[in-house]
Amino acid sequence: MSEIRPSVLVIDDERAIRRFLRTGLEMNSFNVLEAENGAAGLREATLRNVDLIILDLALPDMDGAEILERVRSWSTVPIIVLSVRSKEAEKVRLLELGADDYITKPFGIAELIARCRAAIRRHIRGVPPSPVIHAGPLTIDLSARRITLDGEILQLSVKEYRLLQVLAQHAGNVVTQQHLLQEVWGQTHLNNAHYLRILIRKLRHKVETVPTRPQILVTELGVGYRLANPSLKKAPAD
Amino acid sequence: MPEWLPAVLARLLKSQLRPVLYGLTLVLAATVVMLVLGELFALDHVGIGYVIPVMIAATRWGIFPAILSAIACVGASAFFFYPPIYSFRVSSPQEVMDLVMFVVVAIVTGKLATSLREHLDAGRRREEEIKALYAMSKRLAAIPTESEIYAVIQEHLSTTTGCHVSLFEAGVEFSRLQELARKDRIPADVSAAMFAILEGRGEVPAGLVNGDPNDGSWIIRTLSQRRSVLGVVGIKLPRAQGTNAELMRQRIDETFAEAAATLERIDVANAINEAKLRSQADQLRDALIGSVSHELRTPLASIIGPASILIEAPAVAQDSRLLAMACLVRDEAERLNGDIQNLLDASRISSSGVRPQLAWTDAADVINAAFDRRRARLASHRLDIEMGNDLPLIHADPILVEQALGQIIDNAVKYSPPDSRIVISAREQDGRLIIDVTDEGMGLSDEERERMCERFYRSPRLEAQIRGSGLGLWIAKAFIAASGGRLEAESEGPDRGTRVVISFPVADQSLLMPAGAADE
């Protein structure tokens, strides 16, 4: 697997951004395809076999959300959205429409590469995602339903396990608060964000070295949570 | 005796049976009392006492029970009290006059009482209506947005008429009105008439408009002021019956006349025009901010991104001077990005106010986000975060609080010497959650402390040494206030450090988590 370079389709109308992304991605062993507007992006996405799409929301010809929906109607290819700050509601909407993650402009290349690898890890063509997820000292074995911290088995309540399970299924990428509430408590508790805050806090006490400075269960303010530091050593892309 | 009389009487009796029975019972009671009194005290003219039950019946139950009671009284007094006793025959003309008196008293008081009661009822109804109108005008006076004005009118109409009311606003897109018509299940001909009026093509129909004859008919009226139509109202009458509908229309028109007066007073037409202008200005501003945001940030993203690649490139990383250059490019571009954000925030606050998205928020998340976002810039100072493991949740806008806290941290870094200590701490104290940022920097004079949150205020003492826009703390204060918190600063004086405190009220945490909700 290691010789296959995943190909990334960059849909952005700014030439400078496309150049920067091409350089950064190629330096990190990705193949890059470019499209300068929504229509071209959709065409490329259909014709080529791409492993990841990086989609700028502000395109001249089409709304980012529309492109997202059109791609999602036939493909599960990971999509990372480039957005601007202080539009948390929009980020949440796009994540709910099927984006795998977002990154706020301006951003550094390291941050983007980490998001890309996390998203791609679950979607490598023809390879089922690994049932074992590592996040720092935490190991989540989804098939055995076993959580270990530094090798020791961790006792979790039903809801704590469920929360960790949902985050692990998206390891490295953000999961919206609404999605977590629905998965852990069900449809009727979508407005009870404080349940989530308190459960996250309990879980942090069990898994984080310093619960008030979390390194594993990271908050994305106004959007949701992210299981950070998925072990990239096991990603086939490397 | 005409043939219909028994039937009419029977109906009358049926509806009045209970009051009549009450009246007769009163007469019976009066008879017993007067018989006893007559025996005990040997009174003459006891019969006059029968005026009492007749009056009571007249005032309480109306004219018909009163007359029947009067007749019963006549019978009873003739039988028991006027000679010959125990016979209905009455001998003296004086006594016949007494009996006639009873009937007259009954009719007169009955009529008086009935009209009094009707007046009272009408007054009470009117009072209710005026109360409702007053409540409506009070709500309207607080003029909210255009659509809220219509909502208030619509709600008032439906409560006063008790019917289903549909209101089409002027100036709303046709497709949205069509959707509303579908949702309210307005028959096609009714909605067509309403659209025609809105578009100035049709007249207001004088009578009823029959949609589906099985489903009641509709009255259409316009809500207008100074000859401009503000909206068209369709009111669905329950199952049309001639007189009923006529009465209903009269009441609706009365309500409308009152509403029109109220509307005139508070000048809805102007309010609506202003609201329209305001929303256009809002749209323009949003478009402008959006485009500034995009136009300035795209090149910034093309600077910061490549700089981040350079910083990680082996060739640069090996040469400390090149690395410093690349870091300088990145940091300055990020600072510029922050300045642009400040300008956008400032224009947002002054033009439309801040609209917070309140949510249950963990202060630790906010502090960590504010810290992480500027980790690179904080490298020059020794930074400590002190917070307890169990801070209470606050109900605030996490994004706004994070931005405000970020401003405060930036200021602490800016106004204190390199390598000095900055402490961010969070705790609960006296029912409030307190987050404070303490530095060992320039401190504040009394005047500076008072004016530091003013827009564009820069201290003359520091203006020349340290650049800035004078917006940061003003934005921070506005954001904290929008989230329901307070921002204060204290300092022991110039060059003796500053402590900026933001605080939020803390809700009763036990209410947040019903037992077993988090876990089972």
pLDDT in tens, B435-451: 999 999 888 888 888 88
Residue of A17, A159, A219 lying closest to B369 (CB–CB): A219
Cα A25 from Cα B309, distance rounded (Å): 10
**Quick one: average pLDDT of B247-263?**
65
**Quick one: average pLDDT of B222-243?**
67
pLDDT in tens, B82-107: 777 777 777 777 777 777 777 787 77
Under the banding of pLDDT at 50, 70 and 90, the label for residue A233 is very low
Q: Above 50 in pLDDT, residue A82?
A: yes
Mutate to test the interface with B, among A63, A195, A221, A223 (most CBs of B within 10 A): A221
Cα B237 from Cα B246, distance rounded (Å): 10
Mean pLDDT of chain A: 87
Under the banding of pLDDT at 50, 70 and 90, the label for residue A234 is very low
Mean pLDDT of chain B: 79
Q: Above 60 in pLDDT, residue B313?
A: yes
Assess whether the previous peptide bond of B84 is cis (omega < 30° from 0).
yes
pLDDT at A1: 45
Higher-confidence residue of B520 and B10: namely B10
Under the banding of pLDDT at 50, 70 and 90, the label for residue A104 is confident
Higher-confidence residue of A235 and B342: namely B342
Please state the ipTM of this predicted complex. 0.84
Phi, psi of B124 (to 5 degrees): -65, -45
Cα B304 from Cα B310, distance rounded (Å): 10
Alpha helices in A60-186, H assignment, sequence order: 64-72, 88-97, 109-121, 158-169, 177-184
Classify the C-alpha dihedral A87-A88-A90-A91 as positive or negative.
Answer: positive
Phi, psi of B498 (to 5 degrees): -130, 145
A-chain residues near B385 (CB < 8 A): 212-213
pLDDT in tens, B178-187: 788 877 778 7
Residue of A106, A193, A200 lying closest to B297 (CB–CB): A106
Under the banding of pLDDT at 50, 70 and 90, the label for residue A237 is very low
Q: Following CA atoms A119, A124, A127, A129 in sequence, which dihedral angle do they give, to the nearest 10 degrees?
A: 0
Highest mean pLDDT (candidates B21-25, B66-70, B187-191): B21-25
Residue of A58, A158, A213 lying closest to B368 (CB–CB): A213
Q: CB distance B362–A221 less than 8 Å?
A: no
Contact predicate B506/B433, CB 8 Å: yes
Query: Which one, of B254, B269, B259, B271, lies nearest residue B154 by Cα?
Result: B259
Residue B335 CA to chain centroid, in angstroms? 43
pTM above 0.90, yes or no: no
Mutate to test the interface with A, among B286, B289, B309 (most CBs of A within 10 A): B309
Q: Above 80 in pLDDT, residue B156?
A: no
**Quick one: average pLDDT of B195-222?**
71
Q: Above 60 in pLDDT, residue B515?
A: no
pLDDT at A235: 36
pLDDT in tens, B470-492: 788 888 998 999 888 999 999 98
